[in-house]
Amino acid sequence: MFVKFKKLYSVVAVLLLLISYASPSIYASAATDSSELPAPYIQVVQDGTAVKESEDTPPIGELAKGAIVKVAKIEGEHVYFQWGKELAYVDVVHTQRIDPPSPDDYSYDSDNTNDSYVQIQEKSAVYSQNGEVIGYLLPGDTYPIFQETDEAFQVVIGSQLAYIQKTASITKTEQPSDHQPSEADSTTSTDPANSTDSTDSESSSNLNEAPSSQPTETTPASQPAESGQTSQPRASVATTAVQTTAFTASIKYFQVTVDKLPVYDNSTGKLVQVGTLEKGQVFPRIKDYGANWHEIQFGSKTAYVLKSSTIPVSSANLKTSTQTGGASTFTTTADAPVYDNSTGSLIQIATIQKGLSYPIIRDYGNWYEISISERIAYIHKSLVHVDFKSSDRYFLVVNGPLPVYDNSTGQLVQVGTLEKGQVFPRVKDYGANWHQIKYGSGYGYVLKQSTEPATSASIKNLNSLAPTSQYFTTIADTAVYDNSSGSLVKFATIQKGVKYPILKDSGNWYMVDVSGRAGYVHKSSVKLPFKTTDRYFEVIEDRVTVYDNSTGALVPVAYLEKGQVFPRVSDGGNWHKIKYGQKFGYVWKESTRPPFQINVKNENQGLQPLNQTFFTLADVPVYDKSTGSLVRFAILKQGQSYPIIRDETDAVVIDLSGRIGYVLKNDIQVGPILRYTQYNLTLDEMLAIQMTKNPQTDLYRNQKSYVHSAYVQVQNATTFPTKGTVTATTLNVREGAGETYWIVGTLKQGAVVNIKAKVGDWYEIDFGPWKNAKQADVLSYLDPSRFSRDSKEYFQFLVLSETAGVPVSDINNKILANKGILSGKGQAFVEAAEQYHINEIYLISHSLLETGNGTSALANGILVDKVDGKPVTPKTVYNMYGIGAYDSCPNTCGAEYAYKQGWFTPEAAIIGGAQYIASQYISNPTYKQDTLYKMRWNPANPGTHQYATDIGWAVKQVANISRLYDLIDNYTLIFDIPVYQSSK
């Protein structure tokens, strides 16, 4: 903002340099020898460094961090420099010496200032040439001017040219004045209390007297001007003005001549603005305070206003008081207008700044009566809060709901609220900002700023009872009511999740103590802790989850509805154990409570499930029909297999957590679940691809095979059987003695064959059992439509990537009984199935086949001390699926593979092997071949990643799986049947 002055500054700088060489410096007599100073300049290192003239006077200015000044002298701990036309100092601890800067910028002499001054009414920044703040002039200060421009006053500070921007708070004068209030500058004044010309006739109004018009809530803080008025009306005060503008010590009154005349506190040694006085208002003063200031009463202290903004008044008819306040004080929460009411109208005479503590004379309805510069005035309660004394025992909530905080953990955690307008006892005053109150079994804390001191007069429900050993926990934000008047009056809230002691049980209510007051909370909003003997629980949250834990992991299987009551099997620490189908489920206690009333009309009285299950195709509701209407009390999650008690026309009847429920048949499948997957090729196209992959079959194992005699060299051509050697590079083997017969295979040159007989030019040979499958035979296995849903072969479409939901007890008792090492291992198979998403019956079938029903050496454990020929720590390993057990070294290779996998227990082998099986085909992210049919034929990508060449492989695998399913009663069957496009 000072760019336009740059050229002027340069000219002035040169001029002042010439003058300074010709004229002796004002510091000549005071400065020390320059040889004693390592550097004649210092730089300020702390913001707001006070500039002073002496130890006994307040600061006359401030320097900002980074400001550079030319040193006049250093004495003791003080560094002196030019300030106006005198010397001032800063403490040396706030400075550092520096090398001389450019002389163009630091060569101005204060002797060359003119005879004009600026008078400062508000703290004003001083700027360097580049526009940076280097310090401040304080209110009441006067400072000599070097040059005046359109926008700024140029001054010299510490031989540095600086600038003060012109504002309304800075006035130009031809006379210097003192800097700020200083007792040393004050002249003798008459004590207002003993002054003979003081108008004290109205100063002793007692508490029973009222203004001619009492301030009320409807009286606005700032009244609109009456018709024809251009400004707010001011107090009508009879005054006699002194004919001269000069104040003398005997002048008791002054009239404000500017808008919002600042009032300053000087008790800290610095001028701090604490309020303003209104233009046109007359005030008594305590005394004349030097050339520039009036000392006035402001609360319980003295304050100061500039004389230059006032004129003397010899007398005034004011309502005054020598009483400054009582024992109570308030703190302003905003800049608060102060009103005179002596004329019957509210007239603003002053403002008290926000955050200021001020004494109260008396409480006056919606107002507080105070004294300001000895005048009786009023301030509205909405703009202040009353300060507490440590002896105050009660508080009134004036802003609510007021939060209550717990601090027992070292952090403030909100635990409740107190209602506006309610009075509470407090345990003690807790520092500047807090009340400590009784709350629960400990203490709570509330902020003072939203309260004011009160008495116990309005409290009728003070508590005298000690708490019982019982407590509750709130399940919602819970209202606390006072019932002492015969009506329920809310006076507090206990926040959700808070544990709280009970005073006594009272019907549908519990009595509690909140901050020393007895109150009531309704039982519906709280919960008691469970006892191990409790047989029922009530659900208090929406859709509380039921978990299955049969695999060792918590799996969500159902939800319970809020407000419903259920029987439980037993208490399980933090859980309820409930009946879930043929198994158990678990419900988290925190989402429930002991019911206050037990009225379960559909509790199961002994009905048992049939040997039949259903499968949920979506999340399905479970209904209670005991009232004649369908009332939902639970939900079964999608994908659940659940036992049926009774099958009805439109619904199935089940038991869920000991309650009889009805599940509509809309979204369930009773019996097998059938899925159909569409593939983007016809069956003929699928067949053509498969025929290129050399499909094999043992269907022709007992049929004769022939080769042409020209390509076989025999040992004895006349005696059969005999042996022969193939002489052709590749020799076709046919199903008949002729070139038109089906080729069932080939032989390579050098192959030795058994010749059984000669038929014409052909030899009958031994060949098989595996032979090339004919197209018709491939089609018979490839076409899904050729398999009946009721046949065992249909199990080739069984989805192997989903569990069967077979209870562990059924697996152990009905499938694995008397199966060697596998006996009793049902839990491991179920866990493996859940963990790796694989059908447990398929896993068991695979294991039984590979281990010889649990009797193989690999299954029963082999001690391994070498792996890949290298010694290892000897350990017994198990392999339940024959993984890695090659025909050439079944036990050694299978055992070493198990050692590498860490299968050191039967359970580890069952679970770990399931991962291998699932990863190869069933859960392979690329192939996803989760049926036996998909493993063999891979219809999604035919001709690739097919498990076997035997066209009957898938069908051959199902016999054992089907047999195992026949052994059990409760399971889920899910089939995925391929669908090929119609032929074009």
| pLDDT per position as a tens digit, 811-821 | 999 999 999 99
Domain boundary among 669, 688, 713: 669
Contacts of 263 (CB under 8 A, 6+ apart): 273, 274, 275, 276, 277, 296, 298, 303, 304, 305, 350
**Regarding predicted confidence, which is higher, 713 or 241?**
713
Give domain status of residue 407, yes or no. yes
Q: Determine the straight-line distance between the first and last CA of the chain, rounded to whole angstroms.
A: 88
Whether the pLDDT of residue 895 is over 70: the answer is yes
Residues 141 and 266 placed together within one structural domain of the fold: no
**Regarding predicted confidence, which is higher, 887 or 264?**
264
Q: Assign 360 a pLDDT band (cuts: 50, 70, 90).
A: very high
Q: Assign 397 a pLDDT band (cuts: 50, 70, 90).
A: very high
Residues 463 and 597 placed together within one structural domain of the fold: no
Residues 831 and 916 placed together within one structural domain of the fold: yes
Q: What pLDDT, on the 0 to 100 scale, is given for residue 867?
A: 96
Q: What pLDDT, on the 0 to 100 scale, is given for residue 236?
A: 38
Residues 733 and 632 placed together within one structural domain of the fold: no
Give domain status of residue 463, yes or no. yes
Q: Assign 804 a pLDDT band (cuts: 50, 70, 90).
A: confident
**Regarding predicted confidence, which is higher, 178 or 35?**
178
Mean pLDDT estimate for the chain: 86
DSSP for residue 815: I
Q: What pLDDT, on the 0 to 100 scale, is given for residue 942?
A: 96
Residues 250 and 302 placed together within one structural domain of the fold: yes
Q: Assign 203 a pLDDT band (cuts: 50, 70, 90).
A: very low
Residues 252 and 335 placed together within one structural domain of the fold: yes
Assess contact for 655 and 661: CB atoms under 8 A: yes
Q: What pLDDT, on the 0 to 100 scale, is given for residue 751?
A: 96
Give domain status of residue 378, yes or no. yes
Give domain status of residue 138, yes or no. yes
Residues 905 and 924 placed together within one structural domain of the fold: yes
Assess contact for 377 and 298: CB atoms under 8 A: no
| For the chain, percent of residues with pLDDT exceeding 70 | 87
Assess contact for 942 and 683: CB atoms under 8 A: no
- Kindly state the helix (H) or strand (E) to which residue 221 belongs, with its residue range: none
Residues 971 and 826 placed together within one structural domain of the fold: yes
Q: Assign 175 a pLDDT band (cuts: 50, 70, 90).
A: low
Residues 298 and 252 placed together within one structural domain of the fold: yes
Lowest mean pLDDT among 150-164, 233-247, 744-758: 233-247
Whether the pLDDT of residue 188 is over 70: the answer is no
Give domain status of residue 214, yes or no. no
Residues 584 and 560 placed together within one structural domain of the fold: yes
Residues 627 and 493 placed together within one structural domain of the fold: no
Assess contact for 65 and 44: CB atoms under 8 A: yes
- What domain range includes position 502? 394-527
Give domain status of residue 675, yes or no. no
CATH number, domain at 741? 2.30.30
| pLDDT per position as a tens digit, 597-643 | 898 999 999 999 877 788 898 999 999 999 999 999 999 999 888 88
| pLDDT per position as a tens digit, 557-581 | 999 999 999 999 999 899 999 999 9
Report the domain count for the chain: 6
Residues 605 and 622 placed together within one structural domain of the fold: yes
Backbone angles phi, psi at 452, to 5 degrees: -145, 160
Q: Assign 285 a pLDDT band (cuts: 50, 70, 90).
A: very high
Whole-structure pTM value: 0.50
Give domain status of residue 220, yes or no. no
Whether the pLDDT of residue 187 is over 50: the answer is no
Whether the pLDDT of residue 205 is over 70: the answer is no
- Apex 227 CA angle, 221 and 228, nearest 5: 115
Domain boundary among 527, 560, 580: 527
Provide mean pLDDT across the span 834-842: 93
| pLDDT per position as a tens digit, 710-735 | 999 998 888 999 999 999 999 999 99
Highest-confidence segment of 162-176, 540-554, 838-852:
838-852
Give domain status of residue 977, yes or no. yes
What CA–CA distance (Å, rounded) separates 339 from 322?
Answer: 18
Q: What pLDDT, on the 0 to 100 scale, is given for residue 21?
A: 32
What CA–CA distance (Å, rounded) separates 540 from 794?
Answer: 47
